C-alpha cells in the first residue's frame, strides 16, 4: 500500500540580483509553496539554514518542527559556485515541509524522507530557478509516494545496525533521546561525531528508542561546523571530529560506537522498559511497541496520554510484550492501582486487597490497565473484599473500615458483605433480613461459613435462619470441631426458649462428641424444664453420660468416682 503525502517546498540559496525573484543579490529564500506556508513560517525555516564550508563539506541534513507544528526535513548541499566578487561558500538548502498528520503516517521518522524520497531534493540553484515561479516566488507542492513495505524494510535494517553496538552504550543513547526535553531546557545538545553515514546511522538508532510524539522534539543538524547552539538550537548536532564539540556535552563517537557519558541511577519507567529490551536484545520490541509503552507510562504517571493508542495496544499487543512492559512498570503500576482503589473503596479497604492486585500486575496486566482506564468492576471488588473478610469474620474491622465498607455497598450490592456488617453490628434483624433474601444454596453457604468460624453466637444465628437449615450445618461441623461444640449449651437454651423442643433430637450426633463437663452443663439446663423433651435426645445424653462415667472409672481406679448416671434423672 502506498502512502501519499502532499508536501510544501522551501528553497534557500545564493543568487545574483538578476536571477532573484526578490530582485536582491545574496543568500535568500528563493521560493516556497505559498498555498501551504505562510511568510512567517518561511522566515522561521530560513533562520536555521546555516552552512559553513570546511575541508570536507558534506551534505547536511536538518530536522526540526515549526511553531505551527509543521515538520521540516532539509537537505543542504555545498556548491562550488563563485559569486561576482570571487567569493565561495555558496550552498543550496531545499526543505520539504509536512503537516503533523502526514508526518505521523511515516511514524514521525525523518529518515523515511531522507532515504526514500531523497531524489526529490534539488542538487543546484539552476534547477531551482527553472521550476520556481520568478514572478511570485512560489514553488508548487510536491507529492511523495512511499511504499509501506519499505517502511518495514527500514525497521529491519535499523535493528540489524543496532546489534553492532554494545548494550551499555545503547542504554546511554536511549537515555539522552528519551530525555530530550531536559537537554533542551538546559540548551545542551547530544553530539554525534564521525562520517556522515556513521552519524546518520547513530541518529537512526537514537530515534528507534522513542515514540513519534517524542521524536518531534529531537531536532538535529548533521553538520554543525562553526554553528552556535545559542543562536540555533538542535537536540543533536553532528561534527566530523570529536574535538570540535564542547567538552561538557555528551558525545556519541559514531565511529567507535561509544558515548562519553554515564547512565543515571534513577530512570523513568519507560527507560527501564527500553533498558530491559536492550539487555534481552529485543530491539524489534522497541520499534513496534514504543508508542504503546510510552502512553502506558503517561497513564501511570498522571500525565496527558493518548487513550486510543492504549486501547489499540491492549487489543493487539502480544501477551508477552504487555507483560514485559508491566514488569518494567511494576512500581508506578501498583502505585496507580492503589490510588484508584482508594478512590473507589477507601484507604483502609484498599490495604486489604492491594497485594492481590499487585500480584496480578504481571499475570493479568491487561485487566488492570483496562481497570485504570474504565474503573474497577465493582462486583469484582466486592468479591475480593468478601474473599479477604471471610476467613476472619470474628475479627471485627475497625470503625473506619466499616464506614468505608458501608459507603462502598451503596455503590454496589453484595449480600454476603451486608451479612458481615450485620454480624459486626450485632444487628440480628438485619442479619435475618439479608439471609431471607438469599436463595437456599447461598443461604446455606454463608451460614456454613459463619458456623465454621464461630464468628457469631449460635443462639443469635438460629434466630436469623431457617432452623432446619441451621441445625443440619451445625451438626455437620460440630462433630469434627470441638470449638463449635462449645456453643451447644447456648443453642439448647435458645431452642427451648423459642419452644422448638422437638428440634433437640437433631442434636443427637453432637451429644456423642461431648465431654463430661458439657454433659453436666446441659443436665442443669434440662433439669429446669417441665416440658416433655424428645426421648431420642434424652437417651443419647444418658448413653453419653454412661460411657464417660465408665471411662472415668477405668482411668481413675484409685479413687471414688461419682455416679453421674444416678444423679441424672428425667
Least Cα distance to 339 among 354, 327, 328 occurs for: 354
Q: Which residues contact 357 (CB under 8 A, 6 or more apart)?
A: 334, 337, 341, 368
158 half-sphere exposure, CB direction, 13 A CA radius: 26
The whole-angstrom separation of Cα 278 and Cα 162 is 10
Contact 103, 71 (CB under 8 A): yes
Listing DSSP states for 400-421 in one string gives HHHHHHHHHTTTS--HHHHHHH
Residues 570, 565: Cα–Cα separation, whole Å:
11
Question: Is residue 86 included in any domain, yes or no?
Answer: yes
Domain count, the chain: 3
pLDDT value of position 567: 47
Kindly state whether residues 26 and 136 are assigned to the same domain.
yes
Whole-number pLDDT of residue 561: 42
pLDDT at res. 457: 77
Among candidate residues 90, 122, 147, the one where a domain is terminated: 147
Same domain, 99 and 173: no
Q: State which of 115, 147, 179 marks the end of a domain.
A: 147
Same domain? For 53 and 91 the reply is yes
Counting as low any pLDDT under 70, the low residues of the chain are 81-88, 454-455, 463-465, 530, 555-570
Do 105 and 240 belong together in one domain?
no
pLDDT given at position 83 = 59
Residue 82 sits in the same domain as residue 47: yes
Grid cell, residue 514, equals 461431648
Grid coordinates 501519499 are at which residue? 4
Q: Which three cell numbers stand for residue 265?
A: 541511577
Cα three-residue angle 46-47-49, rounded to 5 degrees: 65
Indicate if 75 and 180 belong to the same structural domain: no
Cell numbers describing residue 55: 575541508
Residue with cell string 539487555: 279
Q: How far apart are CA 348 and CA 404, in angstroms?
A: 8
Q: How far apart, in whole angstroms, are the C-alpha atoms of residue 142 and residue 140?
A: 6
Tracing cell 547536511 back to the chain, one arrives at 60
User: Last residue of a domain, which of 264, 280, 308?
Assistant: 264
- Same domain (yes/no): 103, 176: no
Q: For residues 137 and 236, state if they share a domain.
A: no
Phi-psi region of 69 (alpha: psi -120 to 50; beta: other; left: phi over 0): left
Question: Coil, strand or helix: which one is 500?
Answer: coil
> Residue 348 and residue 385: Cα distance in Å, rounded?
11
Residues 82 and 191 in one domain: no
Q: Which domain holds residue 178?
A: 164-264
Give the model confidence (pLDDT) of 93-150 as tens digits: 999 999 999 999 999 999 999 998 888 999 999 999 999 999 999 999 999 999 988 8
Do the domain assignments include residue 113? yes
Query: Same domain, yes or no, for 178 and 217?
Result: yes
Asked if residue 304 is part of any domain, the answer here is no
377 falls within a domain: no
| Pair (555, 497) in one structural domain | yes
For residues 260 and 251, give the distance between their C-alpha atoms in angstroms, rounded to a whole number. Answer: 5
Nearest CA among 73, 7, 76, 10 for reference residue 40: 10
Query: What does the pLDDT read at residue 565?
Result: 43
Amino acid at each position: 500500500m502506498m502512502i501519499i503525502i502532499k508536501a510544501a517546498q522551501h528553497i534557500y540559496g545564493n543568487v545574483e540580483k538578476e536571477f532573484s525573484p526578490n530582485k536582491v543579490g545574496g543568500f535568500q529564500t528563493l521560493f516556497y509553496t505559498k498555498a501551504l506556508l505562510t511568510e512567517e513560517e518561511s522566515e522561521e525555516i530560513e533562520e536555521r539554514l546555516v552552512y559553513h564550508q570546511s575541508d570536507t563539506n558534506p551534505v547536511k541534513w536538518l530536522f526540526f518542527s515549526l511553531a505551527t507544528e509543521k515538520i521540516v526535513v532539509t537537505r543542504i548541499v555545498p556548491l562550488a559556485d563563485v559569486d561576482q566578487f570571487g567569493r565561495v561558500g555558496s550552498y543550496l538548502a531545499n526543505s520539504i515541509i509536512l503537516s503533523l498528520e502526514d508526518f505521523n503516517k511515516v511514524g514521525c521518522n525523518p529518515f523515511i524522507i531522507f532515504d526514500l524520497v531523497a531524489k526529490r531534493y534539488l542538487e543546484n540553484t539552476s534547477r531551482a530557478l527553472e521550476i520556481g515561479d520568478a514572478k511570485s516566488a512560489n514553488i508548487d507542492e510536491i507529492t511523495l509516494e512511499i511504499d509501506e513495505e519499505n517502511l518495514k524494510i527500514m525497521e529491519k535494517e535499523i535493528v540489524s545496525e543496532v546489534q553492532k553496538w554494545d548494550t551499555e552504550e545503547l542504554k546511554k543513547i536511549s537515555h539522552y533521546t528519551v530525555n530530550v526535553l531536559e537537554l533542551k531546557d538546559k540548551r545542551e545538545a547530544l553530539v554525534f561525531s564521525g562520517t556522515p553515514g556513521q552519524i546518520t546511522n547513530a541518529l537512526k538508532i537514537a530515534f528507534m528508542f522513542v515514540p513519534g510524539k517524542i521524536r518531534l522534539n529531537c531536532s538535529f543538524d548533521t553538520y554543525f561546523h562553526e554553528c552556535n547552539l545559542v543562536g540555533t538550537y538542535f537536540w543533536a548536532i553532528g561534527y566530523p571530529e570529536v574535538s570540535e564539540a564542547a567538552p561538557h556535552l555528551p558525545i556519541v563517537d559514531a565511529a567507535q560506537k561509544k558515548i562519553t557519558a554515564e547512565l543515571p541511577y534513577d530512570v523513568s519507567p519507560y527507560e527501564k522498559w527500553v533498558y530491559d529490551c536492550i539487555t534481552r536484545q529485543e530491539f524489534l520490541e522497541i520499534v513496534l511497541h514504543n508508542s504503546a509503552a510510552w502512553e502506558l507510562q503517561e497513564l501511570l504517571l498522571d500525565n496527558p496520554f493518548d487513550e486510543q493508542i492504549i486501547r489499540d495496544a491492549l487489543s493487539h499487543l502480544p501477551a508477552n510484550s504487555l507483560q514485559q512492559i508491566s514488569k518494567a512498570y511494576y512500581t508506578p503500576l501498583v502505585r496507580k492501582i492503589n490510588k484508584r482503589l482508594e478512590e473507589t473503596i477507601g484507604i483502609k479497604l484498599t490495604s486489604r486487597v492491594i497485594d492481590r492486585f499487585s500480584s496480578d500486575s504481571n499475570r493479568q496486566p491487561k485487566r488492570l490497565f483496562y481497570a485504570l482506564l474504565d474503573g474497577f468492576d465493582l462486583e469484582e471488588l466486592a468479591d475480593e473484599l468478601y474473599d479477604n473478610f471471610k476467613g476472619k469474620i470474628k475479627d471485627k474491622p475497625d470503625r473506619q473500615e466499616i464506614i468505608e465498607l458501608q459507603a462502598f455497598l451503596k455503590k454496589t450490592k453484595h449480600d454476603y458483605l451486608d451479612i458481615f456488617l450485620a454480624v459486626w453490628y450485632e444487628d440480628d434483624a438485619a442479619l435475618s433480613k439479608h439471609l431471607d433474601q438469599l436463595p437456599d444454596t447461598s443461604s446455606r453457604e454463608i451460614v456454613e461459613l459463619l458456623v465454621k468460624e464461630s464468628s457469631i453466637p449460635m443462639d443469635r444465628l438460629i434466630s436469623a435462619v431457617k432452623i432446619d437449615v441451621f441445625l443440619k450445618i451445625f451438626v455437620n461441623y460440630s462433630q469434627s470441631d470441638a470449638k463449635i461444640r462449645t456453643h451447644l449449651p447456648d443453642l439448647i437454651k435458645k431452642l427451648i426458649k423459642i419452644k422448638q423442643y422437638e428440634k433437640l433430637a437433631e442434636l443427637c450426633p453432637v451429644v456423642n462428641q461431648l465431654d463430661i463437663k458439657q454433659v453436666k452443663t446441659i443436665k442443669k439446663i434440662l433439669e429446669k424444664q417441665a416440658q416433655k423433651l424428645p426421648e431420642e435426645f434424652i437417651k443419647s445424653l444418658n448413653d453419653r453420660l454412661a460411657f464417660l462415667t465408665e471411662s472415668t472409672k477405668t482411668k481413675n481406679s484409685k479413687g471414688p468416682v461419682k455416679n453421674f448416671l444416678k444423679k441424672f434423672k428425667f
